[in-house]
Amino acid sequence: MSKQREELEHRLKLRNIKLSDYDDIREIMVSIYRDQGGAWTKQELKNQLKAFPEGQICIEDNGKVVAAALSIIVDYGKFGDNHTYDQITGYGKFDTHDDDGDTLYGTDVFVHKEYRGMRLGRRLYDARKELCENLNLRSIIAGGRIPGYSKYYDQMTPRKYIDLVKSKEIFDPVLSFQLANEFHVRKVITKYLPEDTDSRAYATLLEWINIYYEKDEKLIGNKKSIVRLGLVQWKMRRFNSVDDLMQQVEFFVDTVSGYKSDFCLLPEFFNAPLLAEFNDMDASEAIRNLADYTDEIVTRMSDLALSYNVNIIAGSMPEYDGKKLRNVSYLCRRDGTTDKQYKLHITPDEQAYWGLQGGNGIKVFDTDAGKIGILICYDVEFPELGRILAEQEMDILFVPFWTDTKNAFLRVNICAKARAIENECYVAITGSVGNLPRVENMDIQFSQSAIYSPSDFSFPHDATVAQASENAETTIVADVDLDLLTKQRKAGSVRNLEQRRLDLYSIHWKKKK
């Protein structure tokens, strides 16, 4: 390689600033801030390096600093939103830095004019965000100039100018860049930098929120990030008693618990083989007799959840109170508590054969492994329910189902995929396989259990975390990362929840009278 070629080749390196970099930094600042006070003094840079060396970041090219971002940590509550630049920097002394503070405050970002267009500013902003996350700080805050406002100050207010920059009707060399880097304008402040005539002494107070911030980190018992799901694709077979049924249930609970699963999901009407005992009855009478076993099964499921240390979504079972027959899924937590979710939408077949009625409520359940929702089979085909749960910050949606044919299965399956994408959550579905020749209306089964995710770069390329073989008794055990959901909701390629046009439409739950 020729010497001339070597001189032209860039060798960029991101690193922390040293005091010996001052001359390079001063050169950049003088060229950029000639009309706004010029460069930091060497003593001011020394003060900042002494206060918080990790927060002073630069990019060098072949040994010469060509861009830099400087910051301190502050207890933001001591300053509030109506501060000036001099106040929050301690007039250049940076004695306002507080290692126990909650906010990373950006004091400056600058790029050499000859390096504009190389996206070095974006690299510096990304490095700041990484620092904020690693230090577990609540947010990054900075005062931002709006130099383009000087062309419009006699035509509009600063707020109107900012709105037009947001909608890309106007380009501002500073604010447009900051908005593109996921900062939002917290408010407009005055006299932040009185010498900034281009901004007419106005400034934007900008904030980037650290979505991973944990206020009071505990040594144990923190919210889990990686959650392990265990799904049981259940084979319908003849059972002579509840003991026989629960022996098979315990086998699968033991299996997924052995892999340290946080959840075990069973299918809708997994206890249907017990209907064979009532095969000489009318279908509606038989299922009401089956409901007599529900309390005992729930009690035994709860015992399994405790002894095997796994949260069990007990598929679904019939519940009959003497007046209404409903389909209910029980959540048996591993702390010994239970909850339940009724199926809301009843299929024409369930109504005709059994006289099932729908429940009247829906909610998100808190567990030690995230917030979950449960929709039984047909309910997942109604997108309003998934959205209502998503608005309550659901992380994982569990769908126990029973389908007899492949086209019935595909309705559940395709809708489950849609719920995962549109609500930015994980969706786990499982059903039953095999045949029950002596059980009316539950004779054939079709299932292919799966776990689905949103569709973006952080997730599997086909938005499928795991999938079982068709119509084979088996289990799925797979991990899902709840932190990726947080990232998706705030920084995904598209953000279905955040970008809803709530000014045009919304979904409301009507309280039952």
Per-residue CA distances from 513 to 109, 324, 345, 510 (Å): 58, 18, 18, 9
What would the two tokens of residue 409 be? 């299965």
69/80 Cα distance (integer angstroms): 22
Q: Is 488:424 a contact under the CB 8 Å cutoff?
A: yes
Q: Active-site residue among 44, 60, 207, 268? A: 268
What would the two tokens of residue 219 be? 């040594």
Tokens 């923190």 belong to which residue?
222
The H helix count followed by the E strand count for the chain is 14, 21
Report, in angstroms and rounded to the nearest whole number, the Rg of the chain calculated over CA atoms: 30
- CB-based burial, 34-44: b 16+ in 10 Å, e otherwise: eeeeebbeeeb
Expressed in percent and rounded to 5, the helix, strand and coil fractions of the chain are: 35, 25, 40
Instruction: Using DSSP bridges, classify how beta strands 263-265 and 396-400 pair: parallel, antiparallel or unpaired.
Output: unpaired
Long-range contact pairs involving 469-473 (C-beta distance under 8 Å, separation at least 24): 470/446, 471/433, 471/434, 471/445, 471/446, 471/447, 472/233, 472/433, 473/233, 473/234, 473/235, 473/433, 473/434
Q: Is 41:92 a contact under the CB 8 Å cutoff?
A: yes
- 343 is annotated as an active-site residue: yes
- 377 is annotated as an active-site residue: yes
Nearest to 149 by CA among 138, 135, 163: 163
42/63 Cα distance (integer angstroms): 19
Neighbours of 156 (CB within 10 A): 14
Q: Active-site residue among 377, 381, 415, 417? A: 377
Nearest to 375 by CA among 428, 337, 339, 425: 428
76/102 Cα distance (integer angstroms): 7
- 60 is annotated as an active-site residue: no
Per-residue CA distances from 449 to 58, 147, 327, 385, 431 (Å): 50, 57, 20, 21, 6
Per-residue CA distances from 282 to 93, 276, 294, 444, 449 (Å): 86, 12, 20, 19, 31
Nearest to 378 by CA among 452, 464, 316: 316
For residue 453, give every residue at least 6 positions away whose Cβ sits within 8 Å of its Cβ, in sequence order, or none.
Answer: 420, 426, 459, 460, 463, 464, 465, 480, 484
Q: Active-site residue among 235, 340, 343, 417? A: 343
Catalytic positions: 268, 343, 377
